[in-house]
Copies of this chain bind each other. A is one copy, B any other.
Amino acid sequence: MENLSRKERERRERIRHILNVAGSLFARRGFFKVSMKDIAERAEFALGTLYGFFKGKRQLYHQLIQEKIDEQIRVISEQMASETSPVGIVKKFIEAKLRFFYDNLDFVRLYFAEMHGPPVYGENAHRRKYQELLAKITSVFEEGIKKGEFINAPAELLAAMLDGQTSALAFSWLEKTSSESPEMEIELAKRVLLTGVLAKE
């Protein structure tokens, strides 16, 4: 994995650099309000140079989202795999998702735009990928329901609510001055999802 020539290493660094710059711009302004010239200027490359790294604007954007979503799914899936009980898995999902978003705040808006916004292009490969993760959560809920751990309700709605709840917490970080760590939100999300907001009398 490290048998890369200096050339190749530098190339990857540059691609990484451009993707970071582009990600930050896309997150702030959205796909259509960012021009290739904008990206080139911020990345300190000439306009034409970008086309040596990426086939075009679409592909650049695609790759950017792809990599992050893949990473997100991988990280979350790994965490979930460390647990066996449905409740445990769901807790891990909350933990992993919030931690990932906390470490990738720029990505939060891109994620929302791509998952919930109008399609940037015809493609929606990313949505499908993430929905596979949600499908996994759905089956975890199904199993939990069967085992009597969870209330009897449509599992895919439970999964959607879980996802919406955690996303909303991540989104709140964008608008407020961010806290030191995501721990509080993680604990809160677990607690509210599992036992609700009602105080037990």
Contacts and interface: CB of A to CB of B under 8 A. Distances in A.
Given A112-B117, A119-B29, A168-B165, A151 B199 contact: yes
A199 B117 contact: no
Contact of A113 (B28, B117, B151, B172): B117
Given A113-B117, A160-B171, A161-B168, A199 B30 contact: no
Contacts of A119: 29-30
Given A113-B116, A160-B172, A151 B198 contact: yes
A158 B195 contact: no
B199 A196 contact: no
B154 A188 contact: yes
A189 B161 contact: yes
How many monomers of this chain does the complex have? Answer: 4
B164 A168 contact: yes
B192 A195 contact: no
Interface in A27-50: 27-33
A194 B197 contact: yes
Interface residues of A, number: 52
Chain A contact surface mostly: helix
A21 to B, nearest CB: 16
Interface in A91-123: 109, 112-113, 116-120
A110 B32 CA distance: 16
A149 interface: yes
Given A158-B192, A164-B169, A194-B196, 5 more contacts: A109-B118, A116-B171, A151-B192, A157-B169, A161-B168
Interface of A: 26-33, 87, 109, 112-113, 116-120, 141, 148-154, 156-158, 160-161, 163-169, 171-172, 184-185, 188-189, 191-199
